[in-house]
């Protein structure tokens, strides 16, 4: 399959397809067009310059042979539109796989593995390895090991699994965020996000304790770490916290952006009346008003290293499970005020 054929199927120009597949920041064309091009590329297993790749690796493929492939699996969400953090990472994974000559034949969520049609697709694809985005259960690990001989996990928390992992530490990122609030004079700090088996909540509690600050149940709003969860979490906080904390840490940017909407609806000014901080540094965080102060994770680099480590594993370049930690970085914008 060539760029010309993908362009014809997507009803765009060849140059548009090329620029979408090679865009370093996934910004070329509209989201609708980008998603359509990438969907077609995945469906047909497009790989650029396969013969050049084989020459570089010293291999000779047989005529009509299919390129090696990777599966991308969602661990914490049903679809990428629900989680911009992993959506951005997934696109980085797809681009890096293409660059190394690997096709992404199949993407799916672990929430859907009971569907017979999906199981048939998994069996038919027979991919060489899989990258799992976000945490998953032990039961899911049994399923993954049954279907894939090479596995890699990428996410914000270390998991208890005997596989390669690319991590940007959510515990450390939360510490950075809470310490920034404290440095700005805040001592009454709330939390919006998940609390059960969640390292971000643990880091929130531990950091408050380390600085001798008050923990208040009414300032903690347990909710899913997505858009609808953030909106409902903000509603819970408004209903139970009296007075409100002076600042709130949200477990993800998308949670914070949804919470910001709810606070704005009830005319609470951010950051004048309530400061907000979160983590991830997704693209949207710099386009809301006020722009979101957040702890940035190198999302694109996480995706690229995930592919590189998995390819190394598939080519038997390492045997022991590898844990790669990438650094967090505070991104100061407009949503945190000094007291």
| Residue 195 · residue 189 · CB < 8 Å | no
Report how far residue 212's alpha carbon sits from residue 197's, in angstroms, rounded to the nearest whole number: 23
Phi and psi, residue 77, nearest 5°? -145, 160
Report the C-alpha dihedral over residues 283, 177, 289, 228, rounded to 10 degrees. Answer: 70
CA angle 164, 198, 235 (to 5 degrees): 135
What per-residue confidence (pLDDT) applies to 19? 84
The pLDDT assigned to 50 comes to 53
pLDDT digits (tens, 9 = 90+) for 292-316: 999 999 999 999 999 999 999 999 9
Distance CA 318, CA 310 (A): 10
Of the pLDDT bands very low, low, confident and very high (cuts 50, 70, 90), residue 32 is: confident
| pLDDT score recorded for residue 77 | 87
Residue 57 confidence (pLDDT) above 50: no
> Residues 257-280: pLDDT tens digits?
999 999 999 999 999 999 999 999
Mind listing the pLDDT tens digit for each residue in 207-238?
A: 999 999 999 999 999 999 999 999 999 999 99
Residue 60 reports pLDDT greater than 60: no
Question: Quick one: pLDDT at residue 53?
Answer: 47
Backbone phi, then psi, for 250, in 5-degree steps? -105, 140
- Residue 135 · residue 299 · CB < 8 Å: no
CA 325 to each of CA 168, 269, 301: distance values in angstroms, whole numbers, following the listed order: 6, 37, 11
pTM listed for this prediction: 0.84
pLDDT mean across residues, the chain: 90
We find that the CATH architecture of domain 47-168+299-326 is 3-Layer(aba) Sandwich (3.40)
317, pLDDT greater than 90: yes
More confident residue, 285 or 37: 285
Q: Are 133 and 78 a contacting pair, CB within 8 Å?
A: no
Instruction: Give the residue with greater pLDDT, 117 vs 252.
Output: 252
> Is residue 189 within 8 Å of residue 245, measured between CB atoms?
yes
- Distance linking the first and last C-alpha atoms of the chain: 60
- Which percentage of the chain shows pLDDT scores above 70? 94
**What's the residue count for the chain?**
339
Closest to 180 in 3D by CA, of 102, 251, 277: 277
Q: HSE-up of 51 (CA within 13 Å, CB side)?
A: 5
Asked whether the predicted pLDDT for residue 246 surpasses 70, the reply is yes
| pLDDT for the residue 56 | 43
Give CA–CA dist 107/237, Å, rounded. Answer: 36
> For residues 115 and 184, which has the higher predicted lDDT (pLDDT)?
184
The per-residue pLDDT for 1 is 57
What is the rounded CA–CA span in Å between residue 229 and residue 138? Answer: 25
Q: Mean of the pLDDT values across residues 53-78?
A: 67
What gap in Å lies between CA 22 and CA 96, rounded to an integer? 9
Average of pLDDT values for 71-79? 90
Handedness of CA 287, 288, 292, 294 (dihedral sign): negative
CATH 3.40.50.2300: which residues of the chain? 47-168+299-326, 170-296
Q: Assign domain 170-296 to a CATH class.
A: alpha beta
Percent of the chain with pLDDT over 90: 65
11 has pLDDT over 50: yes
The Cα–Cα gap between 130 and 307 comes to 9
| Residue 103 three-state SS | strand
């Amino acid at each position: 399959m060539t760029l010309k054929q993908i362009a014809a199927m997507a009803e765009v120009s060849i140059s548009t397809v090329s620029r979408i597949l090679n865009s370093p920041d996934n910004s070329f064309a509209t989201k609708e067009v980008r998603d359509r091009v990438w969907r077609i590329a995945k469906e047909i297993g497009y790989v650029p310059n396969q013969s050049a790749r084989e020459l570089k690796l010293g291999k000779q493929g047989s005529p009509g042979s299919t390129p090696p492939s990777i599966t991308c699996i969602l661990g914490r969400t049903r679809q990428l539109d629900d989680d911009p953090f992993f959506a951005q990472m997934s696109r980085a994974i797809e681009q890096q796989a293409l660059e190394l000559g690997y096709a992404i034949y199949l993407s799916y969520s672990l929430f859907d593995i009971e569907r017979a049609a999906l199981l048939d697709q998994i069996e038919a694809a027979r991919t060489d390895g899989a990258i799992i985005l976000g945490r998953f259960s032990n039961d899911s690990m049994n399923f993954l090991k049954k279907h894939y001989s090479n596995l890699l996990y990428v996410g914000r928390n270390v998991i208890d699994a005997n596989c390669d992992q690319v991590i940007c530490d959510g515990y450390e990122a939360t510490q950075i965020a809470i310490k920034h609030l404290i440095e700005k004079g805040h001592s009454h700090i709330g939390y919006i996000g998940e609390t059960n088996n969640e390292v971000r909540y643990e880091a929130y509690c531990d950091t408050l304790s380390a600085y001798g600050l008050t923990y208040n149940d009414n300032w903690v709003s347990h909710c899913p770490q997505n858009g609808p969860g953030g909106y409902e979490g903000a509603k819970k906080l408004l209903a139970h916290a009296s007075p409100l904390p002076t600042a709130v840490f949200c477990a993800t940017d998308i949670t914070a952006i949804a919470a910001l909407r709810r606070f704005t609806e009830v005319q609470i000014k951010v950051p004048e009346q309530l400061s907000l901080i979160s983590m991830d540094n997704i693209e949207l965080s710099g386009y809301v008003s006020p722009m979101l102060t957040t702890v940035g994770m190198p999302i694109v680099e996480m995706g690229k290293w995930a592919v590189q480590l998995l390819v190394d594993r598939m080519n038997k370049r390492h045997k022991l499970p590898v844990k790669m930690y990438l650094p967090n970085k505070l991104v100061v914008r407009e949503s945190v005020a000094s007291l």
